[in-house]
Structure 1
């Protein structure tokens, strides 16, 4: 939709063909008995991306279309040893003070030094990773990890560590700070044991630009963008699954639909997973060895009892590190094991999510192995894992089991069925380093007239990155190969 709105403003007639019955892809909403829950992401980071989108596509800015508030504290962490700390939103000094109080003097400064090095990664990669089309000369440069080595005592820097795990072990040392850093990677489905050191940019971005909540959930943002598309006369066809890209004279010339119809077009923009793309347009991006990324299990809880005053919006309850990483990333035996998962608990202070103030809507999420490596369609498997998540979340919500009126469990099997993404995998943002292993296919393809948008293409997953990919595709279509990137 971000690409569609921008292309419509540029004068194109745009039609969106969506396989599901509604707009928004993975940004969904479940409503039942007066309760409402996001079924995709729950918080917005880098809101400037969407502010720019709304400025460039209409008269009303983002803040007139949705109500956004900064989440403060940004997050509370409950570590495996019971240490409990709340970190303020977008306050470097506040984070330092909170970590010193929780983990001892010097802990905050060690974390701050690491975030400063994350800023160096941001400065080095912001343009080529997020704001410019991916080109061959840029790929070569992005194969190298820009994370700097920490300075030794004296004049010289040490060689930079190669993985996020190595960064944590050498520069943080305290297991609670290690867990804090690695939780940023795990939340995006990245294995800290092999993810490049440049992944330190993730906590830098969150701590610097803050976390934002949209009243009515992020589904309200998807609806606002849908309305903006309608204002720009974008047409939508729901329940319209594309099964192939029509090729004519060596160019993309439309879509073949599952019902047998054909939709002609001058160009095609595809927002699909690699497996779907290979079926739609074989050979358009060449061979791909990108594995299916991890997915998410969400447990949506309808609770009796009011949300207590001063409750933190987001809490991360840390689990069994090694067992969890082995289970999620495939280094252990298939299955869900018996480990305690790391659970993110979202408790929004939003009257639109609950029937009245005597109830509360709470969402639990955990990163898990994709469907196929675990049979998430097995109700017993899903229910047992959900029960483990509820037990873990009780560390953040006292008396949680007794307050549950009902729950809904959503797994990667649901994600696969609704979005078509194989395994229900959720793509991570792109990262520099590791020889380019964490990059995604460029927004242009080998088939002229076929462009790629969304989390499975450059610049990767996440709401902000999806908005950036829409801007890049629109720029490439309007300005052609000379387009140098978003301004």
Structure 2
């Protein structure tokens, strides 16, 4: 039985902790905050509650596998999962609206044809066929396997872009895919919105980012009853059932090294804790002791979240998720309106969350930016201004406080000369491992869960571990 210290109580770190505890190891989690969940947070006030991190779950099979491998109760006995249908409503700059069904290729094609004109759905469907080819080439190496010792093959673009122009110039970015292959500014905006939702600028994101809409439209979008925070609650409880020890309000100041190997941690209060392995869920390269920092993904974006407390009931034909595309100086925003009694004081009120991706570098007047976000959200919520009781704005600095970094990591993407590959789960220092959104396979709820599985696999199975099956 090994002694294992886990730094941080985010979803990826807890996923690793639960698996390691089931394997018979003694696991202690040190979390600098007062609670668990990392980016999967909650804001509560006056009977209203809001998810302050992800609002929907994609690839729920990752957490089904976690619960199967760590206990008798499957995921569906611990949380209630519901497919969101329609998966999303899109409001384009010209006022056109379209509702896209959940995990239905034929339904999506029909909806786009009806809203955008004959042929629009076919172009989108043809694009998804090419996106599937990129997905098939990268799914295992980018999602289920450790990063290879030589990541050069993953630095090459896997998306089979259509050649365009007299000079047959190659397509290198997602924005070029939209312009050359979709040939409708609204379809291009639809594609761009998927990139922005994961933190990628479509003007610089590789064409391989086509896998993001493919993944969502193929495997669906799911809501966890009680909000996504309920998933963090369930994973935390599973850890406790497996006798994982949690120590909150306790920061780790340093990873201890001896004879070229991690041997424990030093807490901020000065206490040293010995360990056979250290699993860090902290942002890479934080806490890496000396030497060159591990390679890590840098997307340069964060999120602003506006929590809106509204008087008046949610209208009967409201949808769970609306993407309002940029127009007139307003940013693209995602408006989440779950029909969820647990998130509102009563049926005469509603909790609405509005999010936008922003660049981390420039200083901004976030309240003014939130004004523009709320104005955009008015296209999704009738009479929003008149119904507003109060709002709460969460900025990149709040993200930094909760997670250790203002930047929000994106999922691993091939191409882009390898710039969008996250850190290896194996630290350059033996005995130190990385789990969570900053390590393979990158950011997002499902990806964080997979990173925990990869780290546990390495520690339990050793060097022969080749990935999840």
Mark yes or no: TM-score above 0.5.
yes
1:45 is paired with a residue of what secondary structure? coil
Task: Say whether residues 1:176 and 2:166 are aligned partners.
Answer: no
Match of 1:127 in 2: 140
Match of 1:112 in 2: 125
Q: Find the aligned partners of 2:27 and 2:251 in 1 and give their Cα distance.
A: 17
What CA RMSD, in Å, does the superposition of the two structures yield over aligned residues?
Answer: 1.5
Query: How many residues align structurally?
Result: 453
2:121 is paired with a residue of what secondary structure? helix
1:431 is paired with a residue of what secondary structure? coil
Match of 1:367 in 2: 357
Q: Tell me, yes or no, if the aligned pair for 2:256 and 2:263 is still in contact at 8 Å.
A: yes
Measured against aligned partners, the alpha-carbon deviations of 1:11-34 in whole angstroms (never above 9, x if no partner) come to 111011111100010100111111
Q: Find the aligned partners of 1:269 and 1:459 in 2 and give their Cα distance.
A: 16
Match of 2:231 in 1: 221
Q: Find the aligned partners of 1:103 and 1:188 in 2 and give their Cα distance.
A: 25
Structure 2 counterpart of 1:283, from 265, 284, 291? 291
Structure 2 counterpart of 1:90, from 83, 100, 103? 103
Displacement of 1:201 after TM fit?
0.2
Displacement of 1:4 after TM fit?
0.3
Q: Tell me, yes or no, if the aligned pair for 2:296 and 2:439 is still in contact at 8 Å.
A: no
Q: Residues 290 and 89 from structure 1, CA distance in 2 versus in 1: closer, same or farther, beyond 3 angstroms? A: closer
**Counterparts of 1:351-362 in structure 2 under 5 Å?**
351-362=341-352
* TM-score, length-scaled by structure 2: 0.94
Q: Residues 159 and 475 from structure 1, CA distance in 2 versus in 1: closer, same or farther, beyond 3 angstroms? A: farther
Match of 1:426 in 2: 408
Measured against aligned partners, the alpha-carbon deviations of 1:174-214 in whole angstroms (never above 9, x if no partner) come to 00000000100011111111111110000000000000000
Q: Find the aligned partners of 1:28 and 1:314 in 2 and give their Cα distance.
A: 19
Match of 1:262 in 2: 272
Q: Tell me, yes or no, if the aligned pair for 1:148 and 1:160 is still in contact at 8 Å.
A: no
Q: Find the aligned partners of 2:285 and 2:436 in 1 and give their Cα distance.
A: 14
Task: Say whether residues 1:206 and 2:195 are aligned partners.
Answer: no
Q: Tell me, yes or no, if the aligned pair for 1:20 and 1:419 is still in contact at 8 Å.
A: no
Displacement of 1:396 after TM fit?
0.8
2:234 is paired with a residue of what secondary structure? helix
Q: Tell me, yes or no, if the aligned pair for 2:98 and 2:115 is still in contact at 8 Å.
A: yes
Displacement of 1:149 after TM fit?
3.0
Displacement of 1:446 after TM fit?
1.3
Q: Residues 179 and 292 from structure 1, CA distance in 2 versus in 1: closer, same or farther, beyond 3 angstroms? A: closer
Structure 2 gaps of 5+ residues are 1-13
Q: Tell me, yes or no, if the aligned pair for 2:296 and 2:423 is still in contact at 8 Å.
A: no
2:414 is paired with a residue of what secondary structure? coil
Match of 2:423 in 1: 441
Structure 1 gaps of 5+ residues are 153-157, 321-337, 376-380
* TM-score, length-scaled by structure 1: 0.91
Structure 2 counterpart of 1:350, from 317, 340, 345? 340
Task: Say whether residues 1:274 and 2:284 are aligned partners.
Answer: yes
Q: Find the aligned partners of 2:366 and 2:176 in 1 and give their Cα distance.
A: 33
Q: Find the aligned partners of 1:127 and 1:235 in 2 and give their Cα distance.
A: 32
Match of 1:243 in 2: 253
Q: Find the aligned partners of 2:292 and 2:238 in 1 and give their Cα distance.
A: 31
Structure 1 counterpart of 2:393, from 395, 406, 409? 409
Q: Find the aligned partners of 1:32 and 1:176 in 2 and give their Cα distance.
A: 38
Q: Tell me, yes or no, if the aligned pair for 1:38 and 1:219 is still in contact at 8 Å.
A: yes
Q: Find the aligned partners of 2:402 and 2:106 in 1 and give their Cα distance.
A: 43
Q: Find the aligned partners of 1:309 and 1:173 in 2 and give their Cα distance.
A: 35
Q: Tell me, yes or no, if the aligned pair for 1:442 and 1:458 is still in contact at 8 Å.
A: yes
Larger deviation, residues 382-391 vs 209-218: 382-391
Match of 1:314 in 2: 321
Displacement of 1:386 after TM fit?
0.9
Match of 1:450 in 2: 432
Match of 2:10 in 1: none
Q: Find the aligned partners of 1:125 and 1:289 in 2 and give their Cα distance.
A: 18
